[in-house]
A and B are shown apart, each in its own frame.
Chain A
Amino acid sequence: MGRIYIDKYTGRIEQTDIYRVRVILKDGTVLENLEPRRLFPLSNLTMYITLLDETEQEIAFVRDFEELDDTSRKALESCFSEYYMIPKITHLISSNEKFGSLKWLVKTDRGDIAFRIRNRHSDIKLIRGSNRILIRDSNDNRYEIPDYTLMDMHSQHLLFSYL
């Protein structure tokens, strides 16, 4: 069976659960319990969305949010807001290096949090060709600094040596 591409002409998407949707194709076929996932959760948030069934098999595919009708787009956005949690760091309040690991206290769009970074070389990644930084803490939680050059001077100063 070929890949089913969903756009406003071929079908619509309805949210059925916090992270699941139902797809209703134009021919009346209903695909239940599909889990939308971003194929590029770091580099492209609105294109190339796969819809998996309970066994993680791809059932349908969305090329671009823009190709969907409003209801379908909102359904996916709602699922993604529940599924993906990558807090955006707005301020780096303090950075302490102790016994080889870093402890950061940060302000994010979801509140303040302190976390530990195990390896300052591999867990803090500046995306090449951009000012975006991705961070992974010692528990494998993810954080993002969308543009470090827009942060306050104190945060930038603390960040400098880790970039």
Chain B
Amino acid sequence: MGLHTDMDTPFLTNQKLEEKQIRTIVEISEKDEPVLFAIVGEISAKANYSCNVLLVTKAHLFTYDFGSDTVSKKVAFSDISELYTKRMYGNGMLRAKKKDGEVLDIYRFTFAVAPLCDAVVQYVTEIHDGDASVEEALSAVSATFEKHLSICPRCGRTLSAPGVPCISCMNKGKLFKKLGKYLRPQLPVLVVSVFISILTTVLALVPPMLTKQLVDDILPNTKRDLLLAVAFSLIGVHIVHYALAGIRGYMLRICGNKIVAAIRCEVYEKAQHLPMRFYDKTSTGSVINRISGDTATLQAFMLRITQEVVVQFFKLVGIVVVMLCINWKLTLFSLFPVPIVAIGSRIFRQKIAPFYRRIWRRSSAVTSVLTDTIPGIRVIKSFTNEKNSTKRFEECVEDWRENDSKAGKILHAYPAIVNCLMACGSVIIWGLGGDLVMKGIETNTVGTISVGLLVSFISYATMFYEPVNFFANLSDSMQNAMASAERIMDILDAEPEHDFGKGNTNADIGGRIEFKNVSFSFDRTKKVLKNINLTIEPGDIVGIVGTTGSGKSTLINLLLRYYDHYEGTITVGGVDIRKIDMQYYRSHIGYVQQEPMMFHDTIYNNIAYGDNTFSVDEIINAADIANAHEFIVRQPDGYDSVLGERGVGLSGGERQRISIARAMLRNPKMLVFDEATASVDSETEHLIQEAIEHLISGRTTLMIAHRLSTLSKANKIVVIDNGNIIECGTPQELMEQKGKYYRLVQIQSMSDQVAASRRQENFD
């Protein structure tokens, strides 16, 4: 799809139309009221696939279905009291409520064009309400078309923003070419290794020649002096050969490790910069599997390539040359299995590749169960769910085993056939070569071949099958590695968080925050935030309240730039946050979550969190202000106390205070608290509250809170419901309005009273 407004298409459209189709549209539209833009959809009014177009003029909208050649009745903007889109499941409907109360289903659409239909609603509403001229409204529609239909002309993939390079097409080289960049730094060592490989190959060819001498000359003629010399020569050749092979093996292993370490680090680093929407759709188990399992598979393969492919290749060439020199006819006979092996290898590759993908999916599912359940072992135990958990794991393992076993049939049948062919090849050489030797003995002629020559030829032939066998079986490990490489590239090629403002560190992060017409959906099926408009002045302490799932955290996620694909703009200090250097921006925001993440490290390092520039005094001071110091001093190892996985060893409130100290230390200009006191008792809440008050003074602060007592310092309250801001003002104003906030306060004060009286009863 693309934006088309050229001479041939006299209106905006999201998809290139055929000349005949354009002509039809022009014909059915009235001359004095031409079509201004068209949405080319995929489904008819009855939800069958069809090229169905929504046509919009300056005052009417109507549809034309190319499949059934039907034009709908025109609906005048002036007759509409409300135009809206209804998102259903797998499709949506553009509906109009007429002034006489009748509801019209104007246009059915798939989610491919859902944002464009929203733009139509905005266009019609603005014109109808007189908020904008046709030109102004059209320019907004045009911008939406452009934004939603920024596509890569090469692969047709939707881009995150107009004009950005397509990450998929940037790396259009083949997988090996991509892996080549990791090999390049190791080139000098690889060259030395190749040189050693040539030497070892030459040395490997020497023993059969000496064997020929032994059989044909030294043994029959009892030349004892030469026997000793040949024996010592053979020992010398073997020592040098294996010593060089050992050195080469070591060098290449080091190389291989460096290559894989580089890939592993790059994949991990890339994983850090992937946008949240990647993790929304990809299980962490699958990502972990790629970083550890797939890179390990690739390591095994790359080591095998670097160590063996070169050696085996030279061996193959060297042996063929020597064999041809000995007897070209016998050589040709011994080569007969090669084409069969080569063709078989290709067929094998095609057969086995899908199996490797299936096996990986199952293996990934096993890892996902592990990463889900092992960290959550407490929950499993508390719900005595051990049996179900084990059953689920067993099912995944069984599924993996079944598929792996199926692959095993092909996996083992192929090498067996190849080995059998090679064995047959050796028998043929014995038969044909033996016949030649016997003919020579019977006719007593020299010129055919001797026994020694046949023995040495068979030695070479046996050696020859080694590289053939290697290359035949290489496809197996190669397929496995290719599947791994492909998945690694899935991460390396995935679109990272875009940092369009890289280098722009001029924005005042403590400045005014403005949400302008911000709408957002995780996917296209349901809008989580709808047309949010909000202004937060510097130093404001804003409480964001609302029921669970109302969109509070999503609002914060957008401000933190976890998601950039929203409609509208968010500005800080007058600058669009997407145009500010991401690292700079985030480093000036202190973020305290409901479940703060603790790392398996000391309390000190958990507060410093990777920044060595802070002095010990600064860290202790931050902990002190965050009311964390008082419990840290009670730990036997103080700041050196190592926290277990996910902060085990500390209570929820203690972990929370450490995370506040962590935020404090960075001296942020903006603070965001996402239900920081939701999971702690009242006493701890008081301590955290105190810590927060120390932290927020003079800083723009946004606080999501279920407990309204947390918002005692807030000078502005924003009430969000079902993705909309329904109330906004000072706490006093909202209490006077007696709306949702007022009701929430009433409910909470009642439940607080009940809780207090219960406590009193228990105390009595």
Contact = CB atoms under 8 A, between A and B. Distances in A.
Given A99-B157, A111-B49, A142 B90 contact: yes
Contact of A113 (B49, B155, B158, B358): B49
Contacts of A116: 156-157
Interface string A87-105: 1000000000011110100
A129 to B, nearest CB: 8
Contacts of A127: none
Given A110-B49, A112-B49, A121-B286, A101 B157 contact: yes
B187 to A, nearest CB: 28
A40 to B, nearest CB: 12
A111 B49 CA distance: 5
A140 B111 contact: yes
A101 B110 CA distance: 20
Contact of B361 (A55, A87, A111, A121): A121
A85 B155 contact: no
Contacts of A123: 281
Contact of A141 (B112, B156, B493): B112
Given A100-B489, A140-B524, A161-B357, A113 B42 contact: yes
A56 B722 contact: yes
Contacts of B281: 119, 122-123
Contact of A163 (B158, B286, B358, B490): B358
Interface in B513-545: 523-525
A139 B103 contact: no
Interface string A141-163: 11000000000000000001111
A46 interface: no
Main secondary structure of the interface of A (DSSP, over half): loop
B10 to A, nearest CB: 27
A55 B91 contact: no
A17 B88 CA distance: 14
Given A17-B103, A116-B156, A161-B354, A84 B722 contact: no
A113 B283 CA distance: 29
A141 B90 contact: yes
A64 B43 CA distance: 31
A74 B186 CA distance: 71
A140 B355 CA distance: 28
B489 A138 contact: no
B43 to A, nearest CB: 8
Contacts of B111: 139-141
B155 A98 contact: yes
A55 B90 contact: no
B69 to A, nearest CB: 16
B395 interface: yes
A160 B355 CA distance: 8
A128 B166 CA distance: 35
A39 B281 CA distance: 22
A8 B105 CA distance: 31
Nearest to B522: A140
B361 A110 contact: no
A111 B112 contact: no
Nearest to B282: A122
A141 B112 CA distance: 8
A162 B361 CA distance: 9
A139 B172 contact: no
Contacts of B722: 55-56
A162 B357 contact: yes
B93 interface: yes
B395 to A, nearest CB: 7
Contact of B523 (A18, A56, A140, A163): A140
Contact of B89 (A85, A110, A113): A85
Contacts of A98: 155
A78 interface: no
B168 A99 contact: yes
B169 interface: yes
A138 B489 CA distance: 19
A22 to B, nearest CB: 14
Nearest to B721: A55
Contacts of B89: 41, 83-86, 142
Contacts of A17: 103
B353 interface: yes
Interface string A111-139: 11100100101110000100000000011
Nearest to A161: B354
B282 A121 contact: yes
B88 A82 contact: yes
Q: Which 4 A-B pairs have the closest CB atoms?
A: A161-B354, A111-B49, A85-B90, A99-B168
11 contacts: A55-B722, A56-B722, A82-B88, A84-B90, A85-B43, A100-B489, A101-B155, A110-B47, A113-B42, A139-B111, A142-B89
Interface of B: 42-43, 47-50, 86, 88-91, 93, 103, 105, 110-112, 114, 155-158, 166, 168-169, 172, 281-283, 286, 353-355, 357-358, 361, 364, 395, 399, 487, 489-490, 493, 523-525, 722
Given A56-B722, A86-B90, A87-B49, 7 more contacts: A98-B155, A110-B48, A122-B282, A122-B283, A141-B91, A160-B354, A163-B361
